[in-house]
Chains A and B, each alone.
Chain A
Amino acid sequence: SQQGEEDPQALSIQEGENATMNCSYKTSINNLQWYRQNSGRGLVHLILIRSNEREKHSGRLRVTLDTSKKSSSLLITASRAADTASYFCATDGWDDYKLSFGAGTTVTVRA
């Protein structure tokens, strides 16, 4: 079942700007992951953050997790045209390793 909600639904920014998107979920989680999907393609794993972690970095990506608010954010710094894609968060639970995906944020980076 889909438990994540993401906002904004769509985001349009200029190349070089930062893009921030948020994900909220409803039940307690084990891990939260972010994926990227280019139009009509499969998913590419970006980063995983465990429920006992608060922040994680990977290159130009920064993910935060606030389990008290049941929310996570993904920040892409110094965006590039190639970052244009849809971004999804996905959670898994302690008893159930199936992934539950958020609705996604479509990011458009204008050159």
Chain B
Amino acid sequence: GAVVSQHPSRVICKSGTSVKIECRSLDFQATTMFWYRQFPKQSLMLMATSNEGSKATYEQGVEKDKFLINHASLTLSTLTVTSAHPEDSSFYICSAEGERRYEQYFGPGTRLTVT
């Protein structure tokens, strides 16, 4: 149980375009999901906390107008990178909170490359 999927697993887009990444909890409902960003050979940096039915909470330094988060249902959160730039190229990982608040189940990640 507690499986989280992400789609797509890889995406290449051109500068200036927008790309949407989906995060789904497949066999459980998640009121809260998290979005992380990971640069090569670095750790995960929390970008935002996504709460079902309410606005996401962004970490300091993360532009909310650039990284749009929507958590419209208990099993789906989306991250849209708007007007993408090459520096947005990164590995984006989502997680879904389990029954206990410190439990997080991670998706397999999405590799975004902006050309």
Contact = CB atoms under 8 A, between A and B. Distances in A.
A25 interface: no
Nearest to A48: B102
A28 interface: no
Contacts of B95: 43
How would you classify the secondary structure of chain B's contact residues: helix, strand, loop or mixed?
A: strand
Q: What class of interface size applies to chain A in its complex with B?
A: 20 to 34
15 contacts: A1-B60, A2-B45, A40-B91, A41-B108, A41-B109, A42-B107, A43-B44, A43-B93, A43-B95, A43-B106, A45-B105, A92-B101, A97-B101, A101-B45, A103-B42
9 tightest A-B CB contacts, nearest first? A97-B101, A42-B108, A43-B106, A42-B106, A92-B102, A101-B43, A101-B44, A42-B109, A103-B43
